[in-house]
C-alpha cells in the first residue's frame, strides 16, 4: 500500500517537474526543486533556531560596511534586472496587454529566460535581509510575515519562473525590481549612518511607491479577465498575481492610515532606537516583493509586507518602506 502511494507521488512529482521550461534547466538551482527547497529550509532553520542560539550569549554584530555594500549591490542588480526586462520584451515586442510566453530560442526570448531566472535568484540573495537581523539581534524585525515572504514566496516564484519565464506574468517582477531600486537605495543610505539622515526625508513616500506598485500590478492582471481572448499559457499565475497585489495593497493602505492619517508613526521600540541614533536599524524593515515593508515587497518581493509580516509587528517593517 505504502509502496503504491509512493509510486503515485513520484509520478505526480515527475509530471509536475516535466513542465519546467527546458531552457531554464542549465541555470543554477533550476533543474529540480530539491536544491532550492533545501536552501529555503536551511534559511528557516538558521533564522528560527540556529542563529538565535548562536547569538544568545554574544553581542550584536554591527555589520555597517557589509550592509552598505549589500544594499547598494542590490540597487545595481535591480537596475540591471529592470533594464533586461525592458529590453527582452516590455519595450520591444510586448503590447502590455495579453503577452504570451515566447517559447522559442530567439535571442530575445532567451534573454527573457535569463532575466526571469535572475529575478528569482535575487530573492535567494535577499535572504540576507533576515540573516543581518539575526546577527544584529534585531529580533523585533523577524516577524511571521517577513519569514513567510522570504521563504514561501521564493519557493512559489521558482515554479512561476520555471513554467512561465516571460509573458504578461513577468510584469509584476519588473515593477517589483523597479521599487527595489528605490528601497535598497534608501536602506543603503540609512545604514551609512546619522550624517545621511537629512537625505532621508522622503521615507513617507516609500509607502506611496509601494502602494503604486500594487495598484499597477493588480490593474495589469485585472485586464486579463476582461479580454475577449488571451493566449497567455498560465492563467493561474495571473490569478495569484492579482490576489498578491490586492492583498498587499490593503495591507499597505492600512499602514498608511495608521502612520500618516492617525499619526501612529512608529512602534515604541523603533522610536527608542531612532533616539539612540541607531540609523542602521532603518535598513531593517522590508516587507518584501516580495511584499512587505520594504519588500514586497521584490519583493514581492518581495521584497513585500514584511516583505514582509505578523499582526502588529509587520507595521514596523512597513514603516521603512
Q: pLDDT value at position 126?
A: 97
309, pLDDT greater than 50: no
Q: pLDDT value at position 144?
A: 83
Q: How confident is the model over 205-224, as a mean pLDDT?
A: 90
Q: pLDDT value at position 296?
A: 37
Is residue 72 within 8 Å of residue 188, measured between CB atoms?
A: yes
Q: Give the active site residue among 149, 150, 307, 314.
A: 149
Q: pLDDT value at position 77?
A: 98
- Which of 259, 261, 277 lies closest to 319, judged by CA? 259
307, pLDDT greater than 60: no
Per the DSSP assignment, residues forming a β-bridge with 33 are none
86 CB-contact burial (10 Å; exposed 0-12 / middle 13-18 / buried 19+): middle
266, pLDDT greater than 50: no
Q: Lowest mean pLDDT: which of 44-58, 169-183, 238-252?
A: 238-252
Q: pLDDT value at position 290?
A: 38
Examine the residue annotation and report whether 149 is marked as an active-site residue of this protein: yes
Task: Give the three cell numbers for residue 261.
Answer: 492619517
pLDDT in tens, 28-49: 999 999 999 999 999 999 999 9
Q: pLDDT value at position 264?
A: 59
Amino acid at each position: 500500500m505504502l509502496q503504491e502511494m509512493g509510486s503515485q507521488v513520484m509520478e505526480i512529482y515527475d509530471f509536475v517537474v516535466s513542465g519546467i521550461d527546458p531552457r531554464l534547466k542549465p541555470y543554477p538551482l533550476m533543474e529540480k526543486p530539491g536544491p532550492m527547497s533545501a536552501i529555503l529550509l536551511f534559511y528557516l532553520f538558521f533564522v528560527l533556531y540556529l542563529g538565535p542560539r548562536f547569538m544568545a550569549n554574544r553581542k550584536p554584530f554591527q555589520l555597517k560596511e557589509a550592509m552598505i555594500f549589500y544594499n547598494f549591490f542590490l540597487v545595481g542588480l535591480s537596475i540591471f534586472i529592470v533594464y533586461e526586462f525592458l529590453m527582452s520584451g516590455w519595450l520591444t515586442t510586448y503590447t502590455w496587454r495579453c503577452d504570451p510566453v515566447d517559447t522559442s530560442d530567439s535571442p530575445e526570448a532567451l534573454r527573457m529566460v535569463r532575466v526571469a531566472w535572475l529575478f528569482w535568484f535575487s530573492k535567494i540573495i535577499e535572504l540576507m535581509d533576515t540573516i543581518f537581523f539575526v546577527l544584529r539581534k534585531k529580533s523585533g524585525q523577524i516577524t511571521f510575515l517577513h519569514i513567510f515572504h522570504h521563504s514561501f514566496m521564493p519557493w512559489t516564484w521558482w515554479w512561476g519562473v520555471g513554467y512561465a519565464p516571460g509573458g504578461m506574468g513577468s510584469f509584476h517582477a519588473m515593477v517589483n525590481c523597479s521599487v527595489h531600486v528605490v528601497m535598497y537605495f534608501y536602506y543603503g543610505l540609512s545604514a551609512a549612518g546619522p550624517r545621511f539622515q537629512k537625505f532621508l526625508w522622503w521615507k513617507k513616500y516609500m509607502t506611496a511607491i509601494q502602494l503604486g506598485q500594487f495598484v499597477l500590478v493588480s490593474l495589469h492582471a485585472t485586464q486579463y479577465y476582461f479580454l475577449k481572448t488571451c493566449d497567455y499559457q498560465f492563467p493561474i499565475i495571473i490569478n495569484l498575481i492579482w490576489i498578491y497585489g490586492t492583498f498587499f495593497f490593503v495591507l499597505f493602505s492600512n499602514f498608511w492610515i495608521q502612520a500618516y492619517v492617525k499619526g501612529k508613526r512608529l512602534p515604541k521600540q523603533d522610536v527608542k532606537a531612532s533616539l539612540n541614533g541607531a540609523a542602521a536599524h532603518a535598513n531593517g524593515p522590508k516587507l518584501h516583493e516580495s511584499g512587505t515593508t520594504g519588500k514586497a515587497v521584490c519583493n514581492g518581493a518581495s521584497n513585500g509586507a514584511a516583505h514582509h509580516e505578523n499582526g502588529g509587528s509587520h507595521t514596523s517593517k512597513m514603516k521603512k518602506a
